[in-house]
Every structure is written in C-alpha cells, then in structure tokens.
C-alpha cells in the first residue's frame, strides 16, 4: 500500500554570501508537495529558484483541483457524475482527454482511462480493497471497453455509467507543465520527483548527469534499493510497477494496474516498466507520453512492449523492463546511461 510521508514543507534556500549576488549554480530551493495522492519533491536552481518552485506547486495544485476523482467540484468529478450529459471542459482536461484517446487507440486498448468503475470495484480508488466476483468484472468490462467520448458543442460526454480516472497520465502532464515553468523562470537545472515520474532537467551543478535510481521491485520495503541507476540529463524517466499500490488476500497479491482485456490486475510477467524520453525544447508533451506508456506497456508485457517500441512513430523513447523471472532488459539507446546494481542479482540484457 502506498505510504505517504507526513506532510512537510521543506524549504532549503542556499545563498552564496550574505546579500551578495546569487550564484545560479548553487542557489537552490527544494519543496515537498503532497498532491495527486503522491509525495512530490521539486528542486530548482538558479536566481529565480524559489519563485520557480512555488510556481510548480501552484500548477500542480491547479491541476489537482481540475482532475481529482475525489474532489466533487473537479471537472473530472463533474464529468463522471453527469450521467451521460455534456460537460464543458477546460484546456488542460481537453488536452488530457485527447491524449488519452490517442494512447488508448495506439496501445490496442491497454491504456484506458475508463477503467475507473473497475478500479473502484477493486477498491483502489477508495482504499477499500476487495476481489470482485467474475460476474461483476464482466459487467464492468462492458462499460470500460465500450468507452467512447462524445464531443458536442456543449462539451464532452461519457456514456451512461462510465467514469474516467487520469491516474496513469496526469502526473506526466504535470511534469510537462514543470518543464514549461523551468523554461519560463530560466531555471538552469532542476529535479522533479512526482512519485514514479521523474524529471531530470539540465545537469547537476558539477556538470555531471543526474542519477536516477530504478527501484528494485523485489525490495520495495528498503529505501534506495535499486535494480540499477540511470544517468540522465534533460529527460523524463517514468516507472510503473505492480509494487506501487497493492493488497493481499488469501495469499495472493492484487495490484492497481488493471488489464482492460481481463479486468484483473495486469499479469504480464513484468514487475516494472521505466520509460525514458527527452524533455528538451522539441519534446512536446513527452512527460505525458512516458506516463501513459509506462502503464500501457506494463499491461502489454515484455514482448508486446518491445514490439510496440520498435514500431512506434511518435517521439522516441527508451525502456528499462524488469521481469518477474529476474532480468533487467534495457533498450540499446540507454545502454551507456544505465548501470546495473550488481548486488540486486538481476541478469542484464540489452535489446533493440
Ligand atoms: P502511479 O500513478 O501509481 O504511479 P501509473 O501511472 O501506472 O502508476 O497509473 C496507475 C493508475 O492508473 C491506477 O492507480 C489507476 O488509477 C489507473 N489505471 C489502472 N490501470 C489502467 C489502465 N490499464 N489504463 C489506464 N489507467 C489505468
Ligand atoms: Mg502511467
């Protein structure tokens, strides 16, 4: 189960010399934000680092207010409660719905935001975990897989009984917003950790790449237990894994990433998927891409995920797959940026 650290607002402001000029390499602000059911940490550098960090917090809270499934006033809640009637949506939700439709189509339905009623039946939405009956799952799957968004002049409408959950894509979109803010505030370097969504912006103050650990799914109870480390500059690295949120019943483990083909937690032989892509000037909404694809490729499994990547015509991305049979599979483009943690005991492979 996800454990949220106690809410701490941590502000570290390092100025070089009293009243002297601010050194953009070392001037640093670090804030923790609890939002979107996630403990987030944002670190900014540069002369305007405090303002930039707080602008990121504002942007995240603004998105949460629009996209939350639990806040009845959010746009998403109003859409879910509209019973098939059209609801006007703002720009952010519009962009997310378009993207969700695109990833739904391109992943053959592995990515599906209409999973919401099924996620609720399993209790993941409300932390009331249970295993639904096969009959209940089959009925809900009709809603999930019959998903089609109606666009009308009055707004967008779901089908009756349908509901959406943007949990698999919203943090990636927030990471894209953070890149925009970093650019606007001329942040030379920074780091944003939104749960499994990491933005490694620029490089470290000493000019070396940021080091982003890939959690060892077999040792989630340990802090800093990595299967390997990625050395990244100007990149997103987004991980989805069954270990992030789960419950146990009758000796079986059930996790929160659901396979829309079966209605059960995805059981594809993978224990985590990390998607890595550039976040530079021409990267568009690649944070959102990484988030959507980390979830979808986890559902697809190793073979389909690697085929999907080879045939992908969108923005380029690389993968680190951790398999249940003890392998770490890294795509060629990341080979010189990934170092296996030898003590983790995984077998290392590179693939095209
Ligand atoms: P997390 O948000 O926990 O870091 P993900 O990005 O993989 O991990 O998103 C998982 C969340 O997305 C689930 O908690 C659920 O709300 C939703 N979800 C579960 N299965 C799917 C799916 N097949 N397609 C889209 N969203 C999903
Ligand atoms: Mg995701």
pLDDT digits (tens, 9 = 90+) for 285-313: 999 999 999 999 999 999 999 999 999 99
pLDDT tens digits along 142-187: 999 988 899 999 999 999 999 999 999 999 999 999 999 999 999 9
- Distance in angstroms (rounded) separating the CA atoms of residues 31 and 298: 30
Enter the tokens of residue 248. 């146990």
Instruction: Give the closest residue to 57 by CA, choosing from 170, 192, 161, 166.
Output: 192
Q: The pTM is what?
A: 0.93
Residues lining ligand 2 (ion), CB within 5 A? 168, 291, 294-295
Q: How many CB atoms are located within 10 Å of the residue 37 CB? A: 17
How many angstroms does the Cα of residue 104 sit away from the middle of ligand 1? 13
Å from CA of 209 to ligand 2 middle: 24
Out of 123, 168, 174, give the residue to mutate to test ligand 1, the one with the largest number of ligand atoms within 8 Å of its CB: 168
What does the pLDDT average to over 327-349? 97
Q: What is the pLDDT of residues 187-227, one digit of tens each?
A: 999 999 999 999 999 999 999 999 999 999 999 988 889 99
Ligand 1, from 110, 295, 304: best to mutate by most atoms within 8 Å of Cβ? 295
Among 167, 195, 294, residue to substitute to test ligand 1 (most atoms within 8 Å of Cβ): 167
Residue 31 reports pLDDT greater than 70: yes
pLDDT at 8 over 70: no
Q: Distance between CA 178 and CA 176 in Å, rounded? A: 5
The sign of the dihedral angle between the CA atoms of 39, 45, 49, 50 is positive
Atom of ligand 1 nearest to the CA of 195: 4
Distance 260 CA to ligand 2 centre (A): 15
Contacts of 318 (CB under 8 A, 6+ apart): 275, 276, 277, 330, 331, 333, 334
Cα–Cα distances in angstroms (integers) from residue 100 to residues 115, 164, 265, in the given order: 12, 10, 20
Structure tokens at 266: 């995805």
Atom of ligand 1 nearest to the CA of 36: 2
- In whole angstroms, how large is the CA radius of gyration of the chain? 20
Mean pLDDT of 333-351: 97
pLDDT exceeds cutoff 50 at 102: yes
Q: Which atom of ligand 1 is nearest to the CA of 260?
A: 23
- Mutate which of 100, 118, 257 for ligand 1? The one with the most ligand atoms within 8 Å of its CB, which is 257
> Collapsing DSSP states into helix, strand and coil, what is residue 272?
strand
Residue with CA nearest ligand 1 atom 27:
168
Instruction: Give pLDDT tens digits for 68-79.
Output: 999 999 999 999
- Between the CA of 21 and the centroid of ligand 1 the distance, in Å, is 45
Ligand 1 binding site (Cβ under 6 Å of any ligand atom): 111-113, 115, 119, 124, 165, 167-168, 195-196, 240, 244-245, 256-258, 260, 291, 294-295, 299
Phi, psi of 227 (to 5 degrees): -80, -25
Q: How far away, in angstroms, is 21 Cα from ligand 2 center?
A: 41
Dist. CA 80–CA 136, nearest whole Å:
20
């Amino acid at each position: 189960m996800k454990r949220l650290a106690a809410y701490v607002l941590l502000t570290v402001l390092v100025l070089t010399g009293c009243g002297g000029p601010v050194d953009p390499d070392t001037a640093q602000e670090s804030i923790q934000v609890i939002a979107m059911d996630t403990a987030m940490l944002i670190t900014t550098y540069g002369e305007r680092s405090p303002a930039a960090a707080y602008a990121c917090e504002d942007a995240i809270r603004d998105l949460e207010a629009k996209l939350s499934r639990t806040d009845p006033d959010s746009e998403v809640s109003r859409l879910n409660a509209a019973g098939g009637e059209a609801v006007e949506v703002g720009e952010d939700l519009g962009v997310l719905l378009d993207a969700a439709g695109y990833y739904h189509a391109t992943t053959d339905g592995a990515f599906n935001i209409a999973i919401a009623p099924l996620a609720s039946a399993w209790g993941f939405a409300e932390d009331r975990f249970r295993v639904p009956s096969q009959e209940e799952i089959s009925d809900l799957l009709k809603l999930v897989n019959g998903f089609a968004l109606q666009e009308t002049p009055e707004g967008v409408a779901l089908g009756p009984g349908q509901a959406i959950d943007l949990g698999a894509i919203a943090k990636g979109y927030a990471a894209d917003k953070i890149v925009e803010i970093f650019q606007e505030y001329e942040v030379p370097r920074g780091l944003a950790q939104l749960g499994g969504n990491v933005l490694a912006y620029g490089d470290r103050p000493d000019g070396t790449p940021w080091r982003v650990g890939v959690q060892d799914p077999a040792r989630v109870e340990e802090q800093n237990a990595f299967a390997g480390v990625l050395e990244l500059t100007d990149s997103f690295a987004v991980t989805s894994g069954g270990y992030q949120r789960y419950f146990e019943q009758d000796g079986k483990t059930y996790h929160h990433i659901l396979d829309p083909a079966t209605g059960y937690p995805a059981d594809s032989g993978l224990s985590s998927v990390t998607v890595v892509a550039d976040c530079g000037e021409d990267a568009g909404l690649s944070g959102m891409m990484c988030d959507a694809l980390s979830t979808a490729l986890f559902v697809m499994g190793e073979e389909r995920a690697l085929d999907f990547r080879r045939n992908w015509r969108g923005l380029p991305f690389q993968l680190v797959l951790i398999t249940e049979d003890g392998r770490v599979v890294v795509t060629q483009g990341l080979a010189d940026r990934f170092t296996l943690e030898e003590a983790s005991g995984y077998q290392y492979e590179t693939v095209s």
